[in-house]
Amino acid sequence: MAEHKRAEEKLRKGEAQYRAMLELADVGAFQGDPFTGRFLYVNPKMSEITGYSEEELLGMRFLEVTHPGDREEDSERLQRMVRGEAAECAYEKRYVRKDGQMVWVQVNATLNRDETGRPLRMIAVIQEITERKWVKEELRKSEEFHRFAVEAGRIGTWDLDLRTEECRVSPKMAELMSFSSDQTTVPGAQWWESIVPDDRTLMASALAASIDSDAPFDLEFRIALKDGTERWLYSRGGVSRDVSGKALRVHGASIDVTERKRAEENSRASEERLRRAVEIETVGVIFFKTDGSITDANDAFLRMSGYS
């Protein structure tokens, strides 16, 4: 009897620790039935992303919150995992929130299987990427992009002369790069020195690729500010050539994406903590429904509790 009570106490502690870990996570997480497509468990972040309560989600199927245009492909991915053709999937898709708003998410999913290889449940980590998708879409539409730059004042424009290596910048670009507010022309040396050393090679490679192949210039990079901090910029542009095809200038626009990059890093760190907690043999982890019934547990938890 005493041993049974100790096992129950370990179970309660394990439930509390795991619930606390998920409540602090910056990413959504869920478990689902790979055959019925129903949610078996969702963490609080999933409710924030979808707008549905945890109770509502547990009565729904994955496809009910998936955008109609993504449902067929989403279903095919799950079936490939069920058939064993893919061990895991990482992709982008759209959710339709309860209020009707569409949001973009990054999905990383895998299947848990029993000892015979039969799929037991789908486990997925969800990260909202709506802002990132929005920024990239704006940058693809050059006319709309420049109009947005004027109206919103968030985007800086630049024009790099490949012959002189001087770069003309808009007032907003000067601000983004931490240059003097009245500086409209930046010497090549000053431009390169403003870029974080580790990212200079990336910048040079991206410029060379655009010049050599006429592909759009598309890069996220860091700049060093005067106060010692770093700022992330996302830049997109193109190449101007003379009649013979020789590249003369690379021009484009940039936007500050520092907050988005920080959010992504926090999400990755949170996802990594969850993954490590599941994999560490000395940490017991269980999965359970809102009614308290356990749906799964790792080997460490089984050893602690004494249950099979």
Q: Which residue has the higher pLDDT, 305 or 148?
A: 305
Q: Who's near 24: CB < 8 A, 6+ residues apart?
A: 270
Question: pLDDT, tens digit, for every residue of 143-179?
Answer: 555 555 555 567 888 999 999 999 999 888 988 888 8
Residue 216 has pLDDT above 60, yes or no: yes
Residue 130 has pLDDT above 90, yes or no: no
Give the Cα separation of 26 and 267 in Å (integer).
Answer: 5
In the structure encoding, which two tokens stand for residue 141, read together? 């539409």
For every residue of 234-251, DSSP letters joined together read EEEEEEEE-TT--EEEEE
Please say whether the beta carbons of 78 and 84 come within 8 A: no
pLDDT of residue 295: 65
pLDDT of residue 66: 95
Query: Where on the phi/psi map is residue 240: left (φ > 0), alpha (ψ -120 to 50), or beta?
Result: beta
Q: Which residue has the higher pLDDT, 151 or 134?
A: 134
> How far is the CA of 264 from the CAs of 126, 164, 184, 187, 268, in angstroms?
12, 37, 33, 33, 6
How many other CB atoms sit within 10 Å of the CB of residue 170?
18
pLDDT of residue 74: 92
User: Which long-range contacts does 236-239 make (Cβ < 8 Å, 24+ apart)?
Assistant: 236/139, 236/140, 236/145, 237/158, 237/210, 238/210, 239/210, 239/211, 239/214
86 pLDDT tier (thresholds 50, 70, 90): confident
Pairing verdict, β 119-128 and 217-224? unpaired
Residue 3 has pLDDT above 70, yes or no: no
pLDDT of residue 303: 65
How much of the chain exceeds pLDDT 90, in percent? Answer: 36
**Which residue's entry shows tokens 């006319």?**
143
Q: Which domains does the chain have, with CATH numbers?
A: 2-128+260-305 (3.30.450.20), 133-256 (3.30.450.20)
Q: E strands along 86-166, which residues?
A: 88-96, 102-113, 119-128, 155-161
Q: E strands along the chain, which residues?
A: 28-32, 39-42, 88-96, 102-113, 119-128, 155-161, 167-169, 185-186, 217-224, 230-241, 247-256, 286-288, 294-297
298 pLDDT tier (thresholds 50, 70, 90): low
How much of the chain exceeds pLDDT 70, in percent? Answer: 73
pLDDT of residue 151: 52
Paired with 218 in beta bridges are: 236
Question: pLDDT, tens digit, for every residue of 172-198?
Answer: 898 888 888 788 899 989 989 999 999
9 pLDDT tier (thresholds 50, 70, 90): low
Please say whether the beta carbons of 184 and 168 come within 8 A: yes
The three-state secondary structure class of 271 is helix
Question: pLDDT, tens digit, for every residue of 229-273?
Answer: 999 999 988 888 876 778 888 988 898 888 888 888 777 777 777
Give the Cα separation of 281 and 293 in Å (integer).
Answer: 23
Question: pLDDT, tens digit, for every residue of 56-77?
Answer: 999 999 999 999 999 999 999 9
- Compute the Cα dihedral for 270, 272, 275, 276 and give only its sign: negative
Rounded mean pLDDT of 7-29? 62
